[in-house]
Amino acid sequence: MVSQTSLGREVLEVAIEIEKNGRSFYEFMAKQAKGSEVWDTFTFLAGQEQKHEETFREMLNRLGGYQPAQAYPGEHYQYIKDLADSEIFVGDRVQAVLAREMASYDESLDIAIGFEKDSILLYSEIRGFVPKDDQDIVEKVVFEEKTHLRQLMDLKKAVGA
């Protein structure tokens, strides 16, 4: 069983890994881009993932001995763990995606859209595992991820994917 303090740390460490891997994916896709609009979008998103990674690192550094409220020990741990494990950009999964050639921009955009949707879900849940002062920061990240999702959907329509 994971302690509450450790749980808050683990959740933020997962968020950092997701953002780092998302940045790697978007950088890879920018290098593969055919067209300035696609390159611009993926380059922008890579920068945003870097910014989010730094935000979560700062939160982790401030966490200290904070213990998120739970009705009973382990209440949310398995749920958050399952969400994180299903993320496309956690662990070896991102390396598998980056190691192969994308079949099409349609596929790469679908992967990116899935990543942003999963991030929105996970970060919405993470909000309850950080101190109250940081909850607004997480909400801002969720809003930015929603904006990224909209940008990717617009890009998919624009390139006819």
Query: Residue 57 maps to which CATH number?
Result: 1.20.1260.10
pLDDT for 154: 92
Mean pLDDT of 121-137: 81
Q: What total of structural domains would you count in the chain?
A: 1
Degrees to nearest 5, angle at CA 146 with 129 and 33: 120
pLDDT for 45: 93
Q: Domain range spanning residue 39?
A: 4-158
pLDDT for 152: 92
How do residues 49-105 score in pLDDT, each as one tens digit?
999 999 988 888 887 655 556 665 666 566 666 766 665 566 566 666 666 665 567
Strands (E) across 36-156 are located at: none
Mean pLDDT of 137-147: 90
The neighbour count for residue 73, using CB atoms within 10 Å, is 11
